[in-house]
Structure 1
Amino acid sequence: MLYRAPGRINFIGEHTDYNDGYVLPFAIDKHIYLEIEKSDKFTFISKNSNQNISLNNLQKTRTWADYIIGVILEIEKKVGKIPPFSFQIHSNLPIGAGLSSSAALEIVSAFAINDILNLNLSIEELALIGWNAENKFVGLNCGIMDQYASALSKENHALFIDTYTKKYELIPLNLKNYNFYIINSGVKHELGNSEYNIRRKQCEDALKLLNKKSFREVNYEDLKKLNGIHYKRVKHVLDENRRVLNTIEALKNDKIELIGEFLFESHESLKELYEVSCEEIDYIIDNLKNKVTGARIVGGGFGGSVLVLSKDDELENIIYNLKDNYLRKYSIELEHFKVISSNGAEKVII
């Protein structure tokens, strides 16, 4: 049996998902594929890296297999013991590019196990299983966005998620003669995961200072009670939530150029207030200003990718010059590709 789950781009709403905020991701046409069949032991095989891991008993391996193992353990909490399977994956989704390959792996695993064993778990339950696996087993305190986007997305739509209520709405993605592109910076700084968890702790500490239980109770007046790091983190969250709602309104009214402004504003906030950008990403963004409609860093930060909103061939006209300059400066070859919206996890009919 062959299954696939997509990576995602977060259109706008970065670092708001674990702060009870709004996000607007969409699934992209880059996937992790999973072949699954019953076996006498748990086997995890990656065609991309030629890794082969075999286990008689499920335990942490500190490899990519942990995303699948975590999912199995979460499913077992709901339905009891899962028999051994062979999991063989291959992917055209860039790893470490901020496109949520980890969530895609979790969701395709949960989807496949649910289907092959006829467990009748809902797609929302599968998304939460993936989320719990990443938080509780892998140990990254992420929000729900990535797993929801990989599981619930529909082609030609963005997925508006209220992470506080976990309600979601499909928003038509009518971009006219505009296109989305990804530029992969080719860097992923090692401090990414640790700094991500630090940002989450800083936001939790800010809530304690304000004597609030959720960011839903926080408003701009509360900023007067904060300073330093806590002021900056909270201001980013408030501003970014507002940008998500404004982007949805602009989408409904075909104001694509305005959306581009929101993307550049989002990047500036992520750079100056949330402090999750890096030199290489900022170099790319600086060289795109006044040349494309909009651009910002996507993903957890400290490297990864830039999302570009470009009218017609704006980006294509400048990308090769940017690649040459970037190669000279950082000795890294930039990768770029157009991204098209995609459905969430699904069985592949061969």
Structure 2
Amino acid sequence: MPKFRAPGRVNIIGEHTDYNDGFVLPFAIDKYVEVEINRSSQYVFTSEKMKEQVRLQKYERLGKWTDYLMGVIWALEKLGYKTEPVEVNVSSNLPIGAGLSSSAALEIALAYGLNEVFNLKLDKMKLVEVGVKAEREFVGVRCGVMDQFTAVFGKKDHAIFLDTSTLNYEYVPLELKDFELALVDSNTKHELSSSEYNKRREECEAVLNKLGKGSFRQVTYEDLPKLDDVLRRRARHVLDENKRVSLAVRALKRSEFALLGSLLFESHVSLRDLYEVSCDETDFIVGFLKGELGILGARMVGGGFGGSILVLARKGYLGGVFERLEESYLRNFKKRPSLIRIQSNDGVHMVM
């Protein structure tokens, strides 16, 4: 029986820019969600990781992991594609709540699988549209397009330089040579993450309304004095972060890893001070890493208020640094972080 596998993603840089028509630089990783699909007389969703089985007769929001699956089925129907009830078995080695987009991986794995099972003839861009529609309109998280796009278009040994305004993209070779990218999971997820995420979107929309502009691509630094303090900081982050993405692409192409690392540290400061989506735990990890030999850069990834830190390190250094970090973090927060080694990976595909 075939299974359908979609990867999580790590965004090297370009945080909270994807829903603002900005630039991002993600890559798909070797941590994934896998679904097995069988036709059924009712909807049956089983998750190995959640240790739960849910049976439904109709489209229903339950405020839990099943909403991402039912959202995909709902989105397909809204877009005019006919499916039938299915039994879906979900397995995953992708950490939940670590800022690695487990939700988009789940959506895209199911959308791809239903496309195969029911011969819907969806192309790659339509798969992205289905995943985004499911999350925005059924689940209720006003996400950008980056996560679903990466889950579909990911390419091993490459990052994706994506313009979320036009969906034009370029594969950038991810040739790190004597360096590596890894994650430190804070093992923290604050409850306000979803509500504050939507609030940041509303604040960015308020920037556009205040300036009378239709897209953040029309916003300039000269516009910033026209905004109040909070909106000015939000807009400044988006403008600065877009510049950092372009610089990071150049740094990767030229193997300028010191520059790439400094951009990661700058991004974290901006996310902490201007966009205000960091937290004590992630700030502590980044601050600790900044003083360590062999660490070139680090920043929080994902929506914020917990989750993981992306680290750019010289090969051979991270293990020892993490041991010292773990000890210090445990003393301060009474919990342990996790080190997650990652490799780049391809986008969604079928596995036998």
Q: Normalized against structure 2, the TM-score is what?
A: 0.97
* Structure 2 counterpart of 1:316: 319
Q: What's the Cα RMSD here?
A: 0.9
CA contact (8 A) 2:14 2:23 kept: yes
- Aligned-residue offset at 1:256: 1.1
* Structure 2 counterpart of 1:284: 285
* Structure 2 counterpart of 1:254: 255
1:305 equivalent in alignment to 2:308: yes
SS of residue matched to 1:143: coil
- d(CA) in 1 for partners of 2:136, 2:316: 40
* Structure 2 counterpart of 1:38: 39
Per-residue Cα deviation, 1:194-236 (whole angstroms, up to 9, x for no partner): 0011111111111111111111111111112223001100000
Alpha carbons of structure 1 residues 140 and 328: separation in structure 2 relative to 1, 3 Å:
same
- Aligned-residue offset at 1:79: 3.7
- d(CA) in 2 for partners of 1:43, 1:130: 20
1:337 equivalent in alignment to 2:305: no
Per-residue Cα deviation, 1:257-301 (whole angstroms, up to 9, x for no partner): 110000000000000000000000000011000321100000000
1:296 equivalent in alignment to 2:299: yes
Within 5 Å, which residues of 2 pair with 1:149-298? 149-291=150-292, 292-298=295-301
Q: Read off the aligned partner of 2:125 and give its amino acid letter.
A: E
Q: Read off the aligned partner of 1:114 and give its amino acid letter.
A: N
- d(CA) in 2 for partners of 1:27, 1:41: 33
Structure 1 runs of 4+ aligned residues shifted over 2 Å read 77-81
CA contact (8 A) 1:232 1:273 kept: yes
Q: Read off the aligned partner of 1:100 and give its amino acid letter.
A: S
Percent of aligned positions with the same letter in both sequences? 48
SS of residue matched to 2:143: coil
CA contact (8 A) 2:261 2:296 kept: yes
Within 5 Å, which residues of 2 pair with 1:126-141? 126-141=127-142
- d(CA) in 2 for partners of 1:42, 1:66: 12
Aligned length in residues? 349
Q: Read off the aligned partner of 2:227 and give its amino acid letter.
A: L
- d(CA) in 2 for partners of 1:203, 1:232: 10
- Aligned-residue offset at 1:80: 4.0
Within 5 Å, which residues of 2 pair with 1:36-115? 36-115=37-116
Alpha carbons of structure 1 residues 81 and 118: separation in structure 2 relative to 1, 3 Å:
closer
- Segments of 5+ residues of structure 2 without an aligned counterpart are none
Q: Read off the aligned partner of 1:191 and give its amino acid letter.
A: L
Per-residue Cα deviation, 1:109-162 (whole angstroms, up to 9, x for no partner): 000000111111001110110001000000000100000011111000001111
- Aligned-residue offset at 1:192: 0.3
Within 5 Å, which residues of 2 pair with 1:4-43? 4-43=5-44
Q: Read off the aligned partner of 2:298 and give its amino acid letter.
A: A
CA contact (8 A) 1:179 1:338 kept: no
- d(CA) in 1 for partners of 2:268, 2:59: 41
Q: Normalized against structure 1, the TM-score is what?
A: 0.98
- Segments of 5+ residues of structure 1 without an aligned counterpart are none
